[in-house]
Structure 1
Amino acid sequence: MDIPDISSGVGVLDKAAVILGALASGPATLAELVAATGLAQPTAHRLALALERHRLVGRDLQGRFVLGPRLGELSAAAGEDSLLAAAGPVLTSLRDSTGESAQLFRRQGETRICVAAAERTAGLRDTVPVGTALPMKAGSAAQVLLAWEEPERFYQALQGARFTATALSGVRRRGWAQSIGEREPGMASVSAPVRGPSHRVVAAITVTGPVQRLTRHPGSRLAQAAVNAADRLTRALSHP
């Protein structure tokens, strides 16, 4: 690949930027990284390891270098205002079309935070108040926020979780998750991923209600609505 000349005059920073730019094309072994960047092997290896320490670079299951989770977190933080600005109308539309409460969750360390919500306008309200922190061990939103996580964090987060790696594989395949009494007895939910410009999952949009209304198979009724709402937010982030 051709590396553009964007020299800043700070050599080590320029070389680190070249490595990140090369990894934007996909996973790379050390040899492939050297070939793509033109850096000497010791330099490429040293910088890649340093970037890995800062979580700007990670590894896939084959041990190849990949872009790290910190980049997604920084991207999500940069896009937070546009995400929240677009979330209100989307959540209101989702609530109105399903008749159920709708929330937007973002991951923060080992918890997920409700950053926006639309309550039901009548009857029993099942929403989670904005600002509520919930564990990443249960619930359809937690499944969505973990399903596309990098391998190391993925398997660490599964320890003590109410769902399994097999379940999260199903989430990746379907593009949505459902939960029946997983976090709270008698409650059910369906969630879908919201993606940032880099295609990384930055949030989960969720429809929540009692099992007696959502049934034991909430996805059959609500998955398409949740996915459509998540896609609207994804498009809003891609074209702010």
Structure 2
Amino acid sequence: MDIPDASSRVGVLDKAAMILGTLTSGPFALAELAAITGFPRATAYRLTIALERHRLVARDARGRFVLGPRIAELSAAAGEDHLLTAAGPILNSLRDTTGETTQLYRRHGEMRLCIATAERTTGLRDIVPVGSALSMKAGSAAQILLAWEEPERFHQGLQGARFTAATLGGVRRRGWAQSIGEGEPGTASVSAPVRDPSARVVAAVTVTGPIQRLTRHPGGQLAQAAVDAAGRLTEVVSRP
């Protein structure tokens, strides 16, 4: 398949780049990936498996293809993303403090992308692989990433969402969000905003676990830890 606007004249490289570009709005099953790129199914499978071996592509809990952890590692290694560079230690510390899995999300179009995670090491875990693209219509991270948006985008984001404008008003007042079975049945989460030097929300720090551990009021036990971790990441982003 030709890629007129970005062709390097190295066909296999162009195809691999198209797959990675497509997955920025994933996750996608193989059939979906082949349909979007226009590649034959066998070609899409061969290239995607090769990218997976290099950790540029991974799979979510349902076996769908997502961007892999190597993407985030390369971004951090380039020295251009202070947020990702600092995220690992801070998410690890938050995991150790709360005993639960932690994630960092950024908004990407109409999805939220998991760009870093620290998994709970024992017991029942809630695993969201780095690169997973999740809905902006449910979950505490989605609430954080939408709550401070400009009015037009704010109201568009509420269409079909499992939370309301009143919910997001509460998020803005207290500075954190919680979700109980909103994004995934049986799962609860608490999120807090990471801001850039102009105070714009650029990411959401999230603590996730089963409702049976976090209860139906997870903010009571996790909000302060999430807010503190997000504050440390905000300090990193604000550095010159």
By the TM > 0.5 criterion, same fold? yes
Query: Residue by residue, what CA displacement relative to the aligned partner does 1:99-118 show, whole Å, maximum 9, x if unpaired?
Result: 00000000000000000000
After TM superposition, give the deviation of residue 80 of structure 1 in Å. Answer: 6.2
After superposition, residues 77-96 of structure 1 pair within 5 angstroms as 81-96=81-96
Q: Is the 8 A contact 1:118 1:127 kept in 2?
A: no
Which residue of structure 1 lines up, in the alignment, with residue 162 of structure 2? 162
- Match of 1:120? 120
Count of paired positions = 163
- 1:197 offset after TM fit, Å? 1.2
Structure 2 distance, partners of 1:221, 1:127, is 21
The 1:226/1:184 distance shift into structure 2, 3 A limit, reads same
| 2:187 is equivalent to residue 187 of structure 1 | yes
Match of 1:206 in 2: 206
Q: Which amino acid aligns with 2:91?
A: L
Name the SS of the counterpart of 2:199 in structure 1.
coil
- Cα distance per residue 1:30-50 (max 9 Å; x no partner): xxxxxxxxxxxxxxxxxxxxx
Q: Secondary structure at the match of 1:194?
A: strand
Question: In the alignment, which residue of structure 2 is the partner of 1:131?
Answer: 131
CA displacement at 1:121 relative to structure 2? 1.2
Displacement of 1:125 after TM fit? 1.9
Question: SS state of the match for residue 94, structure 1?
Answer: helix
For residue 117 of structure 1, give the secondary structure of its aligned residue in structure 2.
strand
The aligned residue for residue 231 of structure 2 is 231
Look up the SS of the partner of 1:207 in the other structure: strand
Partner of 1:219: 219
Secondary structure in 2 aligned to 1:199? Answer: coil
Q: How far apart are residue 198 of structure 1 and its match?
A: 1.2
Distance 1:207 1:104 in 2: 9
**Match of 1:177?**
177
Partner amino acid for 2:177?
A
* Aligned sequence identity (%): 77
Indicate if the aligned counterparts of 1:103 and 1:127 stay in contact, CA closer than 8 A. no
Indicate if the aligned counterparts of 1:102 and 1:127 stay in contact, CA closer than 8 A: no
Please give the alpha-carbon distance, in whole angstroms, between the structure 1 residues aligned to 2:126 and 2:208.
7
Cα 1:87–1:186, aligned 2, differ >3 Å: closer, same or farther? same
Q: Give the C-alpha shift of residue 127 in structure 1.
A: 2.6
TM-score normalised to structure 1 length: 0.66
The equivalent residue for 2:196 is 196
For residue 146 of structure 2, what is the aligned residue in structure 1?
Answer: 146
SS at match of 2:81: helix
**SS across alignment from 1:161:** coil
Structure 1 unaligned residues grouped into runs of 5+: 1-78
CA-to-aligned-CA distance 1:178-198 (integer Å, 9 cap, x gap): 000001110000000000111
SS of equivalent to 2:155: helix
Return structure 1 stretches of 4+ with deviation > 6 angstroms: none
